Every structure is written in C-alpha cells, then in structure tokens.
C-alpha cells in the first residue's frame, strides 16, 4: 500500500482525503507511523486498544514494561496525537482479546503446545476487530507500526517483508486476509529502527527513548505458571509434576508441569547428564516431557494447520519456499504442499532444529509472505 494508491481509490469515493486510523500503543513505532501519515497528508485518527486487565486488578503493573494497553501507554498515545494534531480514542477490546488470544494461549499450553499470542492478536484483534471498528468510524484504512510492507500484484494484495530484515515483523502478520491487506498501511516498512528513532526525536515525541517491548503483554511478570493457574487452570494436569523421559525411554527425573516446558528448551530441566539435554517432545496425555541430545531435536518434515494463504491462492502444486518456524528465524528451504485448504505439509531441504508445535510456520518467496499456519505435528530425525 502506498499513499498515492490510497489517494486514487479514495478520490473515486468522492471524499476529500482518505482517513487512516492508526493503532497506537504509545510506543515509538506506532507514534512515528502516525507522524508519517500526517506528513503524507492523510487525515489521521489514533486508536489505542484497551486489551487486558489482570484478574487481580493489577492493570497498572503493566506500566512497568511492555503492556500494550496500560493507562500510561494510552496517555502517551494521546499526548502524541495531541502534539501531531489529530484525535485519539481508547477502545475497549478486552473481551475480544480474551476470547481470541488469552483463552487460546491457555488452551494451547494445556494441549502441550507453545502458542504465539502476537499472531492471534494481530489476526483477530488488530485486523478482524479493530479494522472493522475503524471502518465503522468512517476510516478508509488501518495503519500500524509494524515493520512490514504490502503491494498489489495483479488482482491480489501481497504481504511483504520489511525492507530491512533485522526488524522485519511480517512473521506475525500471516493471518491477514485480502480484504484486511487492501485496507492496511504499513508506514514503517521501508525504514530502519534507527531512522524511526531519529524521526521520533526530530518530532520531539515523548516516546523517542522507550525500551523495546518483548514480553507477553498479559503476563507482565513472565510467570506463566501463575498466569495459567489464576486464569482458570487450577488443578489441571499441565501444572502437575510428571516424568522426564530421556534417551532409550529412561526416566531421568520429574518435571514441574508440562506448561513450563517448550520444545528445544535446554535450561531449567533439572536433570544431570554428561552432555546438555533438550526437550524433544511434550505429551500432554501421558503428562510426560521427553528429552534428548541436541541431535535429537531435528525434524525434516512437519505439518501446519489453520493455514492462511495471505498473498496467493491455495497452491495446487508443491511450492518451493523459505519457511520460518519462529519469530527469530532466518528461514529454511522447504517444499510446502497443501494437503487441503487449511493444512500443509512442509518437507525441509535439511533437518530443522526445534520445530515447536503451536508456533507459526510462515512461508516466504523472496520478500513475499505467501502464507502461514500453526505447527501441529513434526517428525524427529537425528541430525545427519
């Protein structure tokens, strides 16, 4: 999406200038995104999502670091909007966030998987809900501070990686549909983080020196066990101790509850061995955590479910592409075959380490994000 395209399409609607709703967290990225849109001549409004209040009423504790929805964050966003001269609103999307992100996060842990809540938040809250609200408010587009790009190729809109790969966030955006993509602007897609910080400083934005957000926003203390317990998980077997099974099916020790473990994990196993051990598999039904040597953590084939083909139609043939199996991943050569509309099989050119159920597998061809899905199964092979 570029502004000239936006201007043209909007001129057809007979309006003066297109209006963009910017999803503002109060952080530097979305603030600069808003500033750039104002510069480009769009009419801008700012929207901050109120997503989460801790069941114990500890909303304010989110101020500490990265909460998308803390009171301080929305005030920062409001201050930026005021400075840049556009209106800002706070929307309560906590119900949607809980229903489509928090509940899924819990369910996935209970199923022995390691979910990626940011992907679901983007798909279901930022786009499915926030974009719809923005359109109800009379806006033409939604913009975010994501480092990603989009363009048009024939009939279809395509999702592209950011120009600079070190900040690329396209991995978490594979759930967008064509309609969403056509009504989305990514103002930061061509910029580096230092450039963005520089623009923020030039504009005198209050957010120019904020630290990066990293944690899962609704678990500010990083204590997943406490979260799973307080969010309705009391007494569930995922938080009960069980066996750690080593190579050759030997019982090596006890785990604290499978929710504390993730495939590929090395630290915190509490098991002594001559070489480092890694989690290779989690079995929620038997309440077991399987560990092995590093060589045992590899897969050469995996399955992804809930697949969305964001930039292309569902391919009839196997397609060669690069697959990222986690956010910080450079990608692996693979052949991706659609089993059905929502399921793919991925055959990796070389075995890939720690393919983790629950994480997203995202398919790239060059800069283009073809689609993605949620890793559901993988095989184990020894590293060749």
Partner 1 sequence: MDTIYLDNAASTQPDPQVLKAMREVLEQRWGNPSSAHEVGSRARIRLDESRTAIAGLIGCRDDEVYFTSGGTEADNWAILGVLDFWREQKDHFITAPTEHHAVSDVAKWWSERGGSVSWLPVDGDGRIDPADVAKAITPRTALVSVMHVNNELGTIQEIAAIGDICRERGVIFHTDCVQSFGKIPFRMADIVADLASISSHKIYGPKGSGALIVRRGTRLSPRFYGGSQERGLRTGTENVPGIVGFGAAAKLCMERLESENRMVRNMRDRLEREILAAIPNVRINGSRESRAPGLLNVSFRGCDGEALLVALDRKGFCVSTGSACSAGALGASHVLMGIGLDVETARSAIRFSFGRFNRADDVDKLMNVLPQLVERQRQTAPIS
Q: What is the dihedral of CA 136, 138, 140, 146, to 10 degrees?
A: -60
The contact mask relative to partner 1 for 66-105 (x = CB under 8 A, - = no) is -----x--x---x--------x-xxxx-xx----------
**In DSSP terms, which residues pair with 239 in a beta bridge?**
none
Rounded to the nearest 10°, the torsion over CA 292, 293, 295, 301 is 20
68 classed as catalytic: no
By CB under 8 A, name the one of 5, 17, 83, 135 that touches partner 1. 135
Q: How many CB atoms lie within 10 A of CB 381?
A: 16
The least distance separating partner 1 from the CB of residue 161, rounded to whole angstroms, comes to 28
Q: Does 152 bind partner 1 (CB under 8 A)?
A: no
Task: Write down how long the chain is.
Answer: 384
Catalytic residue chosen out of the listed positions 68, 69, 118, 217 = 217
Mode of pairing for the β-strands spanning 141-143 and 19-23: parallel
* H/E stretch holding 278: strand 278-283
CB of 132 or CB of 165, closer to partner 1: 132
Active site residue 121: yes
Stretch that binds partner 1, among 131-139, 266-274, 287-295, 364-372 (CB under 8 A): 131-139
| From candidates 4, 13, 136, 234, binder to partner 1 by CB under 8 A | 136
Residue 293 lies near partner 1 (rule: CB under 8 A): no
**Nearest-angstrom CA–CA distance, 29 and 49:** 15
Which CA distances in Å does 145 have to 29, 35, 237, 355?
A: 5, 11, 39, 29
Contact call for residue 9 and partner 1 (CB under 8 A): no
State the nearest-atom distance from the C-beta of 180 to partner 1, in Å: 11
Closest to 383 (Cα-Cα) out of 345, 355, 346: 355
Sign of the torsion formed by the C-alpha atoms of 286, 292, 294 and 299: negative
How far is 252 from 310, CA to CA, in rounded Å?
Answer: 44
Q: Answer yes or no whether residue 129 interacts with partner 1 by CB under 8 A.
A: yes
Nearer to partner 1, 80 or 277 (CB): 80
At closest approach, how far in Å is the CB of 308 from partner 1?
16
Interface with partner 1 includes 132 (CB under 8 A)? Answer: yes
When computed from its CA atoms, the radius of gyration of the chain, rounded to whole angstroms, is: 22
Please, which residue, 56 or 328, has the CB nearer to partner 1?
A: 56
* Class of residue 86 by CB neighbours under 10 A (exposed 0-12, middle 13-18, buried 19+): buried
Cβ-based nearer residue to partner 1, 96 or 300: 96
From CA 279, how far away is CA 277, in angstroms rounded? Answer: 7
Q: Does 128 bind partner 1 (CB under 8 A)?
A: yes
Closest contact distance (angstroms) between CB of 91 and partner 1 is 5
Please identify, using beta-carbon distances, which residue of 18 and 257 lies nearer to partner 1: 18
Q: Where in the sequence numbering do the catalytic residues fall?
A: 121, 217
Q: Which residues bind partner 1 (CB under 8 A)?
A: 45, 50, 71, 74, 78, 87, 89-92, 94-95, 128-129, 132-133, 135-138
């Amino acid at each position: 999406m570029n502004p000239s395209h936006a201007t043209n399409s909007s001129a057809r609607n007979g309006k003066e200038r297109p209006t963009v709703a910017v999803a503002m967290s109060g952080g530097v990225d979305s603030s600069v995104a808003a500033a750039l849109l104002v510069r480009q001549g769009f009419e801008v409004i700012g929207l901050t999502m109120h997503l989460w209040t801790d069941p114990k009423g500890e909303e304010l504790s989110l101020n500490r670091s990265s909460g998308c929805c803390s009171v301080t964050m929305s005030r920062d966003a409001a201050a930026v909007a005021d400075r840049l001269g556009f209106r800002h609103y706070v929307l309560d999307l906590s119900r949607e966030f809980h229903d489509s992100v928090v509940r899924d996060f819990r369910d996935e842990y209970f199923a022995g998987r390691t979910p990626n809540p940011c992907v679901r938040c983007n798909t279901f809250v930022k786009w499915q809900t926030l974009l719809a609200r923005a359109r109800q408010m009379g806006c033409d587009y939604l913009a975010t501070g994501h480092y990603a790009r989009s363009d048009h190729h024939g009939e279809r809109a395509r999702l592209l990686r950011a120009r600079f790969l070190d900040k690329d966030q396209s991995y978490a955006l594979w759930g967008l549909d064509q309609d969403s993509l056509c009504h989305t602007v990514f103002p930061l897609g061509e910029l580096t983080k230092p450039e963005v910080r520089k623009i923020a400083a030039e504009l005198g934005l209050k957010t120019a020196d904020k630290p990066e957000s990293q944690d899962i926003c609704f678990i500010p203390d990083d204590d997943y066990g406490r979260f799973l317990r307080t969010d309705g998980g009391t007494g569930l077997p995922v938080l009960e101790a069980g066996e750690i099974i080593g190579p050759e099916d030997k019982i090596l020790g006890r785990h604290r509850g499978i929710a504390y473990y993730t495939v590929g994990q090395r630290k915190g196993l509490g098991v002594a061995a001559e070489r480092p051990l890694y989690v290779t598999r989690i079995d929620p039904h038997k309440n077991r955590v399987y560990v092995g040597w590093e060589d045992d953590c590899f897969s050469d084939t995996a399955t992804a479910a809930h697949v969305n083909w964001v930039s292309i139609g569902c391919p009839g043939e196997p397609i060669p592409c690069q697959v990222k199996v986690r956010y910080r991943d450079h990608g692996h050569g693979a052949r991706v075959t659609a089993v059905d509309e929502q399921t793919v099989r991925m055959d990796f050119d070389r075995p890939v380490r720690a393919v983790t159920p629950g994480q997203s597998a995202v398919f790239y061809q060059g800069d283009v994000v073809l689609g993605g899905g949620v890793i559901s199964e993988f095989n184990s092979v020894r590293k060749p």
